[in-house]
Chains A and B, each alone.
Chain A
Amino acid sequence: MQDFLIQTQHLRYSYGRQEILKGLDLQIPKGSIYGFLGPNGAGKTTTIRLLLGLLHPTGGEIKVFGKRLQQNRLEVLRQVGALIETPSLYKHLTARENLEVMRRLQGIEKNRVEEVLEIVRLSADADRLVKHYSLGMCQRLGIALALLPNPELLILDEPTNGLDPSGIREMRELLKDLNQQHGKTIFLSSHLLSEIEKTVTHLSIIHEGKVAFEGAIQELQQVAIHANVLEVEVTNTLMAKEVLLNNGLAVESLGGDWLRVAVQNKSESAALNQLLVEQGVSVTGLVFAQQSLEELFLSMTETSPTVGSISSSSPILV
């Protein structure tokens, strides 16, 4: 059986009357880089705060390292390093002093400070005041703080937030390095699939407090491959629509003379073209389109999903 470092079962959280998490089931495999994806306000930060014991769940259960968090908070947190939203840095201190504060608090060996500075490549700037740091450096220092107790599990809330493309790439390399060279399991949240799809091995997508997808990144790609559409330009959209609907295909108007039809695979386009022509509709354009991961993500997290969810077996129209 696969080893899970974090497991949540029916995790619920309400703030006042507002239900933020509506029964979240997550399973984070050991050794993975697990992307936790969702639009702003979906409940990502709330989930992370629950995982760190900063908030108490309204219902459900959290197990970290197989132990219930609420009863074993200190023991569990000793093996967890966290970066929550903007890193908590004392700007009037140097990077080394910031690390020293956290080192003293947790009673960690002295030489660990140099080690983590090395890992996040801040050794050369360790004695500069943090107020003179760039955003990317602050973010890396935040990771260094999380790494200080040499934890098995890293929980990072939007580590690439606000970074420029080169900063994002640096962060991506750092995370891969931590995962592969140092054997850390990494749980990271993001609201942009494109930022993390090259990094993560597993991911979940949450939407309005529920899990819309969870699995390995390849599984999501599988879903995306199946979500194919054909965009057709015709002279008479009304007639074309009727023909297609009569043949049991899902159709959507795109505006202008364009229609979008759900298909199983590319070879269907020829048959569809023939069908339309036979019924007297002239086809002036035909485009086969595959849904990108990003579109798939968007379709999963739109406030009112249009036609069906990804899990339904029938072809999907967006």
Chain B
Amino acid sequence: MELAYSFLVRGFSAEALKIKRTWALWLSLLAPLSVVSMNFLVFFFRGDKLLKLGEDPWPLWAGNNFNITGQLLLPLFLTLITALVNGAEHNSHGWKQLYALPLPKWSVFLNKYLLQLGLVLLSSITFILGLFAAGYLLGVVRPDLGFLEFHHLQSVIFGALRIFIGSLFVFTAQFYISFRFKSIAMSIGLGILFTVAFLIGARWEHIGYYPYSWPAFSAMAFYAKQTSLFIPEMWYSLAGSIVLLLIGIWDSARRQIL
């Protein structure tokens, strides 16, 4: 067990060094900040038309950010980040070298998975921080909108956490796709296809069983008046990603490199 742990710690630090000078880290920071900045501009210029003055502006502010993130931007971000990081390994012909090292074969998959999960987590934290920072900044530059008069620390953090958990399956699926397929275009193409399929089928009554809808459902839970931290779609996402992760590890352990 201790040995497995040391393989993972070493693997994580090696993987972290590999993304140096790539877009991966920047993408993880800039993607959430770009969503927040666009919404900031909308509220800065049109806030008085969107909000009833005197009422709490935070639900609409956070909800707008959550919705666009959960429906479209997060699935696309996950598609890009996994394709980018795994694609760098394909481009460097790195897999054969990794699998010929004296490391358990499962760790090759898990090391990369954990690093990219770390990037997604970093991105989510940046999103929460950006959301608060931009909200309070609106309170300063547009005091009439009333951002400084209300505070929603817990509900906003819960909202972001739901999206993170609700998107884990999409992350794992995209990770696995870009792990197996050499072509970056293939991974990105499939990611876009699956995301667009959700947008087209969004009105279908069973769409809730479609994995790429889970981030959006998790985001919408923010609006519900009485809701627990977990909604069913988040459980689906969590369970599905664990199963897929185990399949990936098993696949990696028996993988042959031609």
Interface residues of chain A, those whose CB is within 8 Å of chain B, are 15, 49, 52-56, 73-75, 77-78, 82, 84-93, 97, 100-102, 104-107, 145, 149
Shortest beta-carbon distance, B98 to chain A, in Å?
8
The residue that B14 contacts in the complex, of A15, A91, A105, with Cβ under 8 A, is A105
Decide if A54 touches B93 in the complex (CB within 8 Å): no
The residue that A91 contacts in the complex, of B92, B96, B101, with Cβ under 8 A, is B92
Q: Can you list 5 pairs linking A and B with CB atoms under 8 Å apart? A: A74-B102, A88-B98, A105-B14, A105-B103, A106-B101
Q: Residues of A contacting B21 with CB < 8 Å? A: 92-93
Interface-side segment among B5-13, B39-47, B134-142: B5-13
Q: Residues of B contacting A87 with CB < 8 Å? A: 93, 97
Q: Residues of A contacting B14 with CB < 8 Å? A: 101-102, 104-105
The chain A residue with its CB closest to the CB of B91 is: A91
What CA separation (Å) do A105 and B95 show in the bound complex?
A: 13
Decide if A77 touches B101 in the complex (CB within 8 Å): yes
Decide if B93 touches A104 in the complex (CB within 8 Å): no
Shortest beta-carbon distance, A72 to chain B, in Å?
11
Decide if A53 touches B94 in the complex (CB within 8 Å): no
Listed residue (B91, B97, B104, B256) with the most chain A CB atoms within 10 angstroms of its CB: B97
The chain B residue with its CB closest to the CB of A151 is: B102
Q: Residues of B contacting A84 with CB < 8 Å? A: 96-97, 100
What CA separation (Å) do A93 and B16 show in the bound complex?
A: 12
Interface residues of chain B, those whose CB is within 8 Å of chain A, are 6, 10-11, 13-14, 17-18, 20-22, 88, 91-104, 256-258
Decide if A55 touches B257 in the complex (CB within 8 Å): yes
Decide if A88 touches B10 in the complex (CB within 8 Å): no
Decide if B103 touches A97 in the complex (CB within 8 Å): no
Q: Residues of B contacting A78 with CB < 8 Å? A: 102
What CA separation (Å) do A91 and B91 show in the bound complex?
A: 9
Q: Residues of B contacting A97 with CB < 8 Å? A: 17, 20
The chain B residue with its CB closest to the CB of A78 is: B102
The chain A residue with its CB closest to the CB of B16 is: A104
Q: Residues of B contacting A53 with CB < 8 Å? A: 99-100
Decide if B18 touches A77 in the complex (CB within 8 Å): no
Given A92-B21, A93-B21, A106-B10, also A74-B257 (CB < 8 A): no
Q: Residues of A contacting B20 with CB < 8 Å? A: 92-93, 97
Decide if B18 touches A107 in the complex (CB within 8 Å): no
Decide if A104 touches B13 in the complex (CB within 8 Å): yes
The chain B residue with its CB closest to the CB of A108 is: B10
Q: Residues of B contacting A149 with CB < 8 Å? A: 102
What CA separation (Å) do A106 and B107 show in the bound complex?
A: 12
What CA separation (Å) do A302 and B92 show in the bound complex?
A: 34
The residue that B92 contacts in the complex, of A15, A54, A88, A107, with Cβ under 8 A, is A88
The chain B residue with its CB closest to the CB of A81 is: B100
What CA separation (Å) do A161 and B258 show in the bound complex?
A: 19
Decide if A88 touches B97 in the complex (CB within 8 Å): yes
Decide if A104 touches B92 in the complex (CB within 8 Å): no
Decide if A90 touches B102 in the complex (CB within 8 Å): no
Q: Residues of B contacting A85 with CB < 8 Å? A: 93, 96
Shortest beta-carbon distance, B205 to chain A, in Å?
45
Given A88-B93, A106-B102, also A55-B256 (CB < 8 A): yes
Q: Residues of A contacting B102 with CB < 8 Å? A: 73-75, 77-78, 106, 149
Shortest beta-carbon distance, A299 to chain B, in Å?
31
Given A52-B100, A91-B92, also A101-B256 (CB < 8 A): no
Q: Residues of A contacting B103 with CB < 8 Å? A: 74, 105-106
Decide if A92 touches B22 in the complex (CB within 8 Å): yes
Q: Residues of A contacting B95 with CB < 8 Å? A: 88
What CA separation (Å) do A84 and B98 show in the bound complex?
A: 11
What CA separation (Å) do A93 and B104 show in the bound complex?
A: 25
Q: Residues of A contacting B257 with CB < 8 Å? A: 49, 54-55
Shortest beta-carbon distance, B97 to chain A, in Å?
4
The residue that B18 contacts in the complex, of A49, A56, A101, with Cβ under 8 A, is A101
The chain A residue with its CB closest to the CB of B97 is: A88
Interface contacts beyond A92-B88, A107-B10: sample of 8 additional A-B pairs, CB < 8 Å, sorted by A: A56-B256, A75-B102, A85-B93, A92-B22, A100-B17, A101-B14, A101-B18, A104-B14
What CA separation (Å) do A52 and B99 show in the bound complex?
A: 9
What CA separation (Å) do A230 and B98 show in the bound complex?
A: 54
Decide if A90 touches B92 in the complex (CB within 8 Å): yes
What CA separation (Å) do A106 and B101 show in the bound complex?
A: 8
Decide if B97 touches A90 in the complex (CB within 8 Å): no
Listed residue (A15, A84, A86) with the most chain B CB atoms within 10 angstroms of its CB: A84
Q: Residues of A contacting B96 with CB < 8 Å? A: 49, 54, 84-85, 88
What CA separation (Å) do A198 and B200 show in the bound complex?
A: 67
Q: Residues of B contacting A55 with CB < 8 Å? A: 256-258
Q: Residues of B contacting A90 with CB < 8 Å? A: 18, 88, 92, 94
Q: Residues of B contacting A82 with CB < 8 Å? A: 97, 100
The chain A residue with its CB closest to the CB of B107 is: A105
What CA separation (Å) do A77 and B21 show in the bound complex?
A: 31
The chain B residue with its CB closest to the CB of A88 is: B97
